[in-house]
């Protein structure tokens, strides 16, 4: 696109740079606020309020958390487990579905697609689903309840299907078939390797959904040992009792020794950390996959 | 190879549809699905009479229309701006930064909101105080949240739509621009007559997807930012949050199912209508 450079475009370019810069700052400032808040001493927060830069620097919040890291480590464990297992199973099922659904020689293709797509048009609603999960499938307090609901979505299946359709020419599948490969063999030796960028994208969507999930924990999990990371954070932010627990296990009194305000924010950062660290690597895949998969819906 | 997927949707989506029956009963935990007393449309008429249904519907649709409208306009704006910016590093970094909020959880969003807007120590009030302006108690001022919720939504979602639009712009053949340049088109004319029309298919696709969820708008956002703060419900309660609270706190199973069914039906009709209208004006853009 470097070839088109206009002469009268100086004003345009200037305003483009300005607007984009402002928007980027707006995107970044909340992160800075959280970081700054987590590093400010509690008294200073209560006295002076949150600021963009700490007025009285203190790492007390992080010390308090790492003095008794076991709850957060456990929540990390649950989330990691759920994310890995859920993403792996979901990807496996959706690549297979995507492969079958884009095959032109599959007669019930449109009917199956409609069966899947219809669920986005109409649903029984939250309550019947909740009752089925708890009283008929007995999934309360199980990891299945955290993994199962997020495995697939019509949107991701459509994304996967169009990705496979656009990147894998029919001829390759055809020639593999002539060479005597059966459908499963074509699937894992031809389709999966060629669809890797699409799989990475859908996988990232899935993983992000699991990693940021709190809703299923809040519906189905009563046992704090099985809380997901985000739900754990949610409880920290919303209830003091969690901080009291934290205090009790370190042997300190809450009001005095646990810096409430800054601990909330420190916890928020610790929970978000992995995403912020992985983000630069992950983002590229995301953009690439979306480019191919979503442009031609 | 398709069977597990079909099973998944059968269990996760189709079987619960049977439970719609709860909407017509006075739910009884001991009775189960068919043991509860059948009361016909009483749940619906109660919802209607309490005025809840109207308020919830207006909130749900209003917010989602605002979300869709502003998100698409801003996403297209920034995609076009970024595509015209030539500084490679600047472009790369800003694109990443704009996309970043999409990756954070709604729970973190509620931490951010608390940090910025709580009465005693919030960033905004700290700023106001330093300019000698009286602090605002955001958490009991309902009307402010109309703007805050929209702002938070845009903050989180624009980057994602922007990337999709940016991808479509990259897909536009350079030859069009080349030809326009030879004909002496200015940068704004090129945007107006090439970029924008070429973005329309992506726009309609995104639009249809968002229309589909117009009745199930953004539960995470509302629940995490507002939670159970009853003072704000008049402007911030949507069907999803109402159903969730009825399920988790007041155990109003019949009522909650009725509200959920109303939401599904209304959304269903909405999508069919919009799809029909789009199909009438341009066959290619319709979803089915």
**Which residue of chain B has the CA closest to A228?**
B107
**Per-residue confidence (pLDDT) for residue A107, from 0 to 100:** 84
Nearest-angstrom CA–CA distance, A279 and B63: 30
Nearest-angstrom CA–CA distance, A5 and A3: 6
Nearest-angstrom CA–CA distance, A163 and A157: 10
Nearest-angstrom CA–CA distance, B89 and B108: 29
- Domain locations in chain B as residue ranges: 36-285
Alpha helices per DSSP H over B132-195:
142-171, 174-182, 187-190
**Which residue of chain A has the CA closest to B200?**
A295
Contact A25, B97 (CB under 8 A): no
Nearest-angstrom CA–CA distance, B4 and A93: 7
Closest CB to A294: pick one of B112, B167, B181.
B167
Pairing status of strand B37-38 against strand B25-26: antiparallel
Residues in A closer than 8 angstroms to B15, CB to CB, are: 132
Cβ–Cβ contact B81 with A under 8 A: yes
Q: Please name which of A174, A161, A170, A168 lies closest in space to residue A193, comparing C-alpha atoms.
A: A168
Contact B192, B184 (CB under 8 A): no
Burial level of A232, CB count in 10 A (0-12/13-18/19+)?
buried
Q: Please name which of B126, B138, B124 lies closest in space to residue A49, comparing C-alpha atoms.
A: B126
Cβ–Cβ contact A239 with B under 8 A: no
Q: How many A×B Cβ pairs under 8 Å?
A: 279
* Per-residue pLDDT tens over the stretch B72-131: 999 999 998 888 888 888 888 888 889 889 888 998 888 888 888 887 778 888 888 888
Q: Which residues contact B233 (CB under 8 A, 6 or more apart)?
A: B142, B226
Q: Classify domain B36-285 at the CATH topology level.
A: MetI-like fold (1.10.3720)
Q: Which residues contact A175 (CB under 8 A, 6 or more apart)?
A: none
Kindly state the average pLDDT of the residues B151-168: 89
Bridge partners of residue B25, in order along the sequence: B38
Helix axes A240-250, A70-102, angle to 10 degrees: 130
* Per-residue pLDDT tens over the stretch A51-69: 778 777 888 888 888 887 8
pLDDT-derived band at B28 (thresholds 50, 70, 90) equals low
DSSP B37: E
List Cα–Cα distances, A64 to A131, A244, A251, B76, in angstroms. Answer: 40, 12, 11, 45
**Per-residue confidence (pLDDT) for residue B285, from 0 to 100:** 66
Distance from CA of B49 to the nearest CA of A (A): 22
Q: What is the dihedral of CA A289, A292, A294, B1, to 10 degrees?
A: -80
Q: What is the CATH number of domain A66-295?
A: 1.10.3720.10
Nearest-angstrom CA–CA distance, B83 and B98: 14
B101's tokens: 């909020």
Residues in A closer than 8 angstroms to B120, CB to CB, are: 46, 49
DSSP A132: I
Write out residues 37-56 of B within 8 Å (CB-CB) of A: none
* Per-residue pLDDT tens over the stretch B33-86: 666 777 777 888 888 887 788 888 888 889 999 998 999 999 999 998 888 888
Write out residues 42-81 of A within 8 Å (CB-CB) of B: 45-46, 48-52
Share of residues in chain B with pLDDT > 90 (%): 8
**A264·B111 Cβ contact <8 A:** yes
**Per-residue confidence (pLDDT) for residue A291, from 0 to 100:** 65
Q: Please name which of B286, B283, B284 lies closest in space to residue B274, comparing C-alpha atoms.
A: B286
List Cα–Cα distances, A92 to A79, B1, B257, in angstroms. Answer: 20, 10, 33
Nearest-angstrom CA–CA distance, A222 and B231: 28
Ranges in chain A, pLDDT < 70:
1-8, 240-258, 289-297
**Per-residue confidence (pLDDT) for residue A246, from 0 to 100:** 53
Residue B214 sits at φ, ψ, to 5 deg, of -65, -30
Contact B241, B223 (CB under 8 A): yes
Cβ–Cβ contact B133 with A under 8 A: no
* Per-residue pLDDT tens over the stretch B200-249: 887 877 777 777 778 877 888 888 888 777 778 888 888 888 888 888 88
Cβ–Cβ contact A113 with B under 8 A: no
**Per-residue confidence (pLDDT) for residue A296, from 0 to 100:** 45
**Per-residue confidence (pLDDT) for residue B75, from 0 to 100:** 92
Kindly state the average pLDDT of the residues B168-187: 83
Closest CB to A290: pick one of B17, B111, B164.
B164
Instruction: Give residue for tokens 């070429």.
Output: B198
Q: Other CB atoms closer than 10 Å to residue A64's CB: what's the count?
A: 23
**Per-residue confidence (pLDDT) for residue A292, from 0 to 100:** 61
């Amino acid at each position: 696109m470097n070839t088109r450079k206009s002469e009268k475009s100086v004003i345009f370019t200037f305003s483009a740079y300005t607007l984009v810069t402002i928007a980027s700052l707006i995107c970044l400032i909340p992160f800075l606020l959280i970081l700054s808040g987590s590093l400010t001493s509690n008294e200073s927060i209560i006295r002076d309020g949150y600021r963009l830069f700490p007025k009285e620097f203190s790492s007390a919040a992080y010390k308090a958390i790492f003095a008794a890291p076991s709850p957060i480590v456990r929540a990390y464990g649950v989330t990691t487990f759920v994310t890995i297992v859920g993403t792996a199973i979901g990807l496996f099922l959706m690549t297979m579905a995507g492969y079958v659904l884009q095959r032109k020689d599959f007669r019930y293709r449109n009917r199956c697609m409609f069966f899947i797509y219809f669920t986005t048009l109409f649903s029984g609603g939250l309550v019947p689903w909740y009752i089925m999960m708890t009283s008929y499938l007995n999934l309360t307090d199980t990891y299945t309840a955290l993994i199962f609901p997020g495995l697939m979505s019509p949107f991701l299946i459509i994304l996967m299907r169009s990705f496979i359709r656009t990147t894998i020419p029919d001829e390759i599948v055809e020639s593999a078939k002539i060479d005597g490969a059966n459908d499963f063999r074509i699937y894992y030796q031809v389709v999966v390797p060629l669809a890797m960028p699409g799989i990475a994208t859908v996988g990232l969507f899935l993983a992000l959904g699991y990693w940021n999930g709190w809703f299923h924990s809040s519906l189905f999990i009563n046992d704090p040992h099985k809380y997901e990371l985000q739900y754990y954070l949610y409880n920290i932010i919303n209830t003091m009792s969690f901080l009291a627990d934290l205090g009790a296990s370190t042997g300190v009194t809450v009001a005095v020794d646990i810096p409430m305000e800054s601990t909330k924010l420190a916890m928020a950062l610790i929970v978000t950390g992995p995403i912020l660290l992985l983000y630069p690597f992950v983002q590229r895949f995301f953009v690439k996959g979306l480019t191919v998969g979503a442009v031609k819906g | 190879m398709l069977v597990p997927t079909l099973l998944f949707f059968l269990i996760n989506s189709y079987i619960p549809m049977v439970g719609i029956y709860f909407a017509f009963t006075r739910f009884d935990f001991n009775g189960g699905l068919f043991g509860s007393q059948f009361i016909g449309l009483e749940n619906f008429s109660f919802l209607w009479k309490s005025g809840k249904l109207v308020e919830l519907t207006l909130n749900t649709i209003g917010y989602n229309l605002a979300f869709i409208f502003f998100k698409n306009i801003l996403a297209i704006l920034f995609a076009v701006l970024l595509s015209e910016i030539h500084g490679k590093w600047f472009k790369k970094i800003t694109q990443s930064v704009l996309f970043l909020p999409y990756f954070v959880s709604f729970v973190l969003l509620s931490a951010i909101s608390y940090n910025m807007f709580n009465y005693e120590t919030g960033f905004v009030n700290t700023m106001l105080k330093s300019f000698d302006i009286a602090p605002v108690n955001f958490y009991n001022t309902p009307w402010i949240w109309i703007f805050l919720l929209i702002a938070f939504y845009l903050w989180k979602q624009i980057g994602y739509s922007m990337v999709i639009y940016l991808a479509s712009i990259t897909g536009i053949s350079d030859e069009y621009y080349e030809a326009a340049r030879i004909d002496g088109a200015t940068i704004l004319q090129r945007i107006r007559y090439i970029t924008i029309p070429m973005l329309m298919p992506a726009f309609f696709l995104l639009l249809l997807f968002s229309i589909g969820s117009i009745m199930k708008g953004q539960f995470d956002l509302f629940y995490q930012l507002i939670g159970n703060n009853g003072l704000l419900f008049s402007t911030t309660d949507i069907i999803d949050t109402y159903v969730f609270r009825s399920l988790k706190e007041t155990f109003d199973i019949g009522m909650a199912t009725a509200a959920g069914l109303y939401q599904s039906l209304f959304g269903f009709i909405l999508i069919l209508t919009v799809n029909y209208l789009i199909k009438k004006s341009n066959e290619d853009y319709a979803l089915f």
